[in-house]
Amino acid sequence: MKNNMKLYSMLCVLALAAWGCKQNTASEKPIDSSKIEVKGEAQAELTSPPHVPKPIGNRAATKLKVDLEILECEGEIVDGVKYTYWTFGGSVPGQFIRTRVGDEVEFLLKNHPDNKLPHNIDLHAVTGPGGGAESSLVAPGHEVTFSFKCLNPGLYVYHCATAPVGMHIANGMYGLILVEPEGGLAPVDREYYVMQGDFYTEGGYGDKGLQAFDMNKAIKEEADYVVFNGHVNALVNDNALQAKVGETIRLFVGNGGPNLVSSFHVIGEIFDRVHVEGGDLINKNIQTTLIPAGGAAIVEFKVDVPGTLVLVDHSIFRAFNKGALGMMKIEGEENPKIYSGKQMDGIYLPEGGTIQKMPSSKKVESTVAKTPEQSIADGKAIFSRTCLACHQSEGQGVKGVFPPLAKSDYLNNSKDKAIDAVLNGVKGEITVNGQKYNSVMPSQTLSDQEVADVLNYVYNNWGNNKTVLSPADIKNHRGK
């Protein structure tokens, strides 16, 4: 017995020693990226979202020159709502920078003479004080150069780090820099650049005109907008990402913050591979991936069936009420073995089909007389946050579930029915364009002006009869 115990102890010691030697051997041969020699020099290709530069492939490490201009410029955060963005390269997020391990980056940062403020840049890919921020503070009308070596592969955020740092980031000063491993990333069919950010305005969501940044809301983390690529409609309708059945997709997804964590999800897909936080760790078969403020992830998947995939922050009210929603339109042949579509449609109302009500709150009526064109434009923003999820971006509805608004005989034959549907909701069976529907639509808490606006948008799009309603029409209907 004693001999057996001695033998067991010796075997354990030998196993531990062998494991230790193996660990020491591995640790003795790390890749020292600082010693990778560079060959020649090149000008970096920079791209605005959702586009990315061409893959690095097998090219050798080089001296890579990055030329980036800071621009303070006015843009639209949602239809009719203006905002003054501070940007790297004129877009939010800033231009995408693509490098590889071992590159020596010579970074030229220029602050346009028309800008009002000094800025700098902190690149999370940089090993050095402030990620480059200490070397890059630049006043309007000036430019500054600094350099760094790319040591660690991964997908990294960059942002302005001039005080107050949160304000500069909240105004759109963030982007992504990719450091590819030696030999490059595995090839895919399409790559896109998507970055989330939260915005804080003095007015509420959809309040028209030029909106100023609200520091109080930012400190309290009470975002009015949570969006992909700088504004509410950046990735929907005509701006939707494109792909074809059978293609492999890689999304470089960042989160500029400044405050909120992203629960990134693509409705109708499962991520085959996720580079967690943009690093070496790979998770497989992922539904939703967390991306911290100031972090990133690389997600990859193959598209198998046609249709529209919806990109969201799955903190879901942000998607449907604050703007964190995008689309990817997939073209190609149906594959019923993977997805059949609806096979049966029946009625099941165990609780009586009660119409749900939106939370009630007193709406302040607009006192500004609008032209029909203004009303239609304003209605588009209301539609995007209250109607789009069910009736879809082009009013096509969801077959067998939510009726179409496009070329709708139900709406075009009776404006009173249309008004009543918005004010009081709909329950029970209705027929639209010859098809029967039996879902429940909740009533909406909208002002007379807002009801008129959203119905004017619907009536004046998608082949409808161009009816124009006024707030007085809505008020009269309420009184019936």
Known binder of ligand: residue 119? Answer: yes
Residue 248 phi/psi, 5-degree rounding, is: -100, 135
- Beta-bridge partners for 76: 82
Q: How many CB atoms lie within 10 A of CB 356?
A: 10
Q: What is the dihedral sign for C-alpha 197, 201, 207, 211? A: negative
Q: How many CB atoms lie within 10 A of CB 116?
A: 8
- Beta-bridge partners for 215: none
Q: Is the peptide bond before 50 cis (omega within 30 degrees of 0)?
A: yes
* Separation CA 250–CA 442 (nearest Å): 37
- CB under 8 Å, gap of 24 or more: what pairs does 342-348 form? 342/399, 342/400, 342/401, 345/400, 347/429, 347/438
Burial of 98 (0-12, 13-18, 19+ CB in 10 A): buried
Provide the edge-to-edge strand list for the sheet that holds 307-313.
241-244, 325-331, 307-313, 262-267, 288-291
Known binder of ligand: residue 112? Answer: no
Residue in the structure block whose two tokens are 């100031």 = 294
Burial of 284 (0-12, 13-18, 19+ CB in 10 A): exposed
Known binder of ligand: residue 124? Answer: yes
Known binder of ligand: residue 391? Answer: no
Instruction: Residue 232: name the closest of 119, 106, 381 by CA.
Output: 381
The single-letter code of the amino acid at 470 is: S
Residues belonging to the binding site are: 119, 124, 159-160, 168, 173, 314
Residues belonging to the binding site for Cu cation are: 119, 124, 159-160, 168, 173, 314
